[in-house]
Amino acid sequence: MLTRDAALEILHEFTKSESLRKHALAVESCVAAYARKSGEDENKWSVTALLHDFDYEMHPEAPDHPMKGEPILAGRGVPEEIRRAILSHANYSGVPRESALEKTLFACDELAGFITAVSLVKPGRSVHEVDAKSVRKKMKDKAFARSVSREDIVTGAAELGVELDEHVDFCIRAMQERAKELELDGQRNGQTTTT
């Protein structure tokens, strides 16, 4: 099994964008928290989350992402179980989500992105200011963070078998625990920035 550090190295090799790296860490925060909750292999789940969009800069178009990334990961010794989970997070891959890892990755992916977006419009730009209620409210605002699929968030929670509010709350807490690393702790809110 690949270590978390080895996965981070691959992520950094292929992903130069800070926001995409942060996205990987945000999804990892949520997925790893679920692994701990259910007694699953946290390292394996972390590696999967860290690598799920590793080829996105190289392959910004579907279906190249993640289909063409998969053989690269195979070449780096990433186990089949993880590669399959990564393929399954794309609805168009034809790989159905079956394992708990696959369902968790999908359920956390768009939601972690959405929680990040909600954090960044808070006065202190901090995830500590976010709660499930504010996330649910923003989900109804179609103009806000348009690129995040509300449908995937709702479907993800349903596939996971978790009530949506509970899932949102769980992921917020998981991201709060790592707020500093995600730069969502209000310390980088740029007091010097104007509007």
List of residues contacting Fe ion (CB under 5 A): 53, 109
Please, what is the minimum distance in Å from the beta carbon of residue 47 to Fe ion? 15
Q: Give the separation between CA 6 and CA 15, rounded to whole angstroms.
A: 14
Please, what is the minimum distance in Å from the beta carbon of residue 194 to Fe ion? 31
- Amino acid type, 153: I
Residue with tokens 């690393």: 181
Please, what is the minimum distance in Å from the beta carbon of residue 89 to Fe ion? 7
Helix (H, G, I), strand (E, B) or coil at 62: coil
Please, what is the minimum distance in Å from the beta carbon of residue 11 to Fe ion? 12
Paired with 185 in beta bridges are 126
- Of 26 and 124, which has the nearer Cβ to Fe ion? 26
- Of 16 and 192, which has the nearer Cβ to Fe ion? 16
Helix (H, G, I), strand (E, B) or coil at 126: strand
- Of 53 and 183, which has the nearer Cβ to Fe ion? 53
Helix (H, G, I), strand (E, B) or coil at 185: strand
- Of 28 and 109, which has the nearer Cβ to Fe ion? 109
- Of 102 and 109, which has the nearer Cβ to Fe ion? 109
Question: Using CB atoms, what's the residue nearest to Fe ion?
Answer: 109
Which residues contact residue 90 at a Cβ distance below 8 angstroms, ignoring those fewer than 6 apart? 62, 63, 65, 66, 67
Q: Give the separation between CA 135 and CA 6, rounded to whole angstroms.
A: 33
Please, what is the minimum distance in Å from the beta carbon of residue 57 to Fe ion? 13
